[in-house]
Structure 1
């Protein structure tokens, strides 16, 4: 009877360890896929140029006013005064 209980404990321990390892592997794979998706989103973004200082910046960070692109609200005000 003692040998039977020992085998049950060993089998349960092996199953527990394999389940923990599988969860860690799945979590690592999920994080890697997430990083790849973030890199892909950043790489695919269009770059635009400020009409005042001519610096290039991502389109999502730019200011748009009167058909022109600006890197900040201050540059938009300075550019519109000219």
Structure 2
């Protein structure tokens, strides 16, 4: 009975070690070989400048802003209403 228990423990230990080795191999294969590619650089060399709407104060990229009379606006409606007095 002692020998049978000994062999059962040995078999369980071998299976346990094999399972751990398989998990480590799978984790090693799942890692990317190289870092993910960086997004392409924007023209102009960096982040776009942000401007503030003269009416509501919201900040938006300069390319999306409306420029009239030397001021920036977020929409034509706010450009018609004019700047707020705060």
Higher helix share: 1
TM-score (norm 1): 0.49
TM-score by length of 2: 0.47
Q: State the structure with more CA Rg.
A: 2
